[in-house]
């Protein structure tokens, strides 16, 4: 079961004139439970904003004024999947002293990048077999 909630922020009127880049004034916020039974104390935009920053800093595709962009949406999807695979299964986080996957009980072993590549190769082999293509080494 998934516990999912949303923090809805309500802003005032947009400012006109020279201050067009300034954000509208914050009026209030409302915590809404969408599904399940989430802990109300943990409903925050901080988690999403931290994730967005980690993604932008870890993948040049999400920073402005860079030539590291994806020309195809499939390439972007693969880059994002690879980033999160590394982040959750390979990278040991200083605060956790392990990977997030191990801390959450999703994995009981520390993955290496070789393990990730082997997983990708195995998936490609299955795709080839389902299409009737057999690769020989």
Between 39 and 66, name the one with better pLDDT. Answer: 39
In a domain, 36, yes or no: no
pTM above threshold 0.85 = no
pLDDT attached to residue 69: 76
**Section 50-63 average pLDDT:** 86
User: Phi, psi at residue 78, to the nearest 5°?
Assistant: -65, -40
Residues 115-132 have a mean pLDDT of: 88
- Domain range for residue 125? 70-137
Using the predicted structure, report yes or no on whether residue 97 has a pLDDT greater than 90.
yes
How far apart, in Å, are the Cα atoms of 101 and each of 23, 89, 96, 105, 109? 37, 6, 11, 6, 9
* 11 domain residue, yes or no: no
For the chain, the C-alpha Rg in angstroms (whole number) is 21
The total number of structural domains in the chain stands at 1
How do residues 14-52 score in pLDDT, each as one tens digit?
766 655 667 788 899 999 999 999 999 999 989 889 989
Asked whether residue 26 is assigned to any structural domain, the reply reads no
Task: Evaluate whether residue 51 is within a structural domain.
Answer: no
Mean pLDDT, all residues of the chain: 87
Gap between the Cα atoms of 106 and 102, Å rounded: 6
Which residues, other chains included, contact 90 with Cβ-Cβ below 8 Å and sequence gap of 6+?
99, 110, 111, 112, 113, 115, 116
* 74 is a domain residue: yes
User: What is the distance between the terminal CA atoms of the chain, rounded to a whole angstrom?
Assistant: 44
Domain-embedded: residue 44: no
* DSSP 8-state class, residue 129: H
Decide which of 118 and 20 is more confident.
118
Residue 119 lies in a domain: yes
């Amino acid at each position: 079961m998934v516990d999912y909630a949303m923090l809805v922020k309500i802003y005032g009127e947009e400012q006109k004139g020279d201050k067009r880049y300034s954000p509208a004034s914050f009026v209030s916020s409302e915590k809404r439970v969408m599904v399940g039974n989430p802990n109300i104390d943990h409903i925050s935009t901080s988690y999403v904003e931290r994730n967005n920053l980690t993604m932008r800093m870890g993948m040049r595709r999400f920073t402005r004024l860079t030539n590291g962009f994806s020309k195809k949406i499939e390439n972007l999807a693969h880059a994002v999947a690879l980033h999160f695979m590394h982040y959750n299964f390979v990278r040991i986080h200083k605060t956790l002293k392990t990977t997030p996957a191990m801390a959450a009980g999703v994995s009981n072993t520390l993955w290496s990048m070789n393990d990730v590549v082997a997983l990708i190769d195995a998936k490609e082999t299955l795709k080839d077999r389902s299409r009737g293509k057999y690769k020989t080494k």
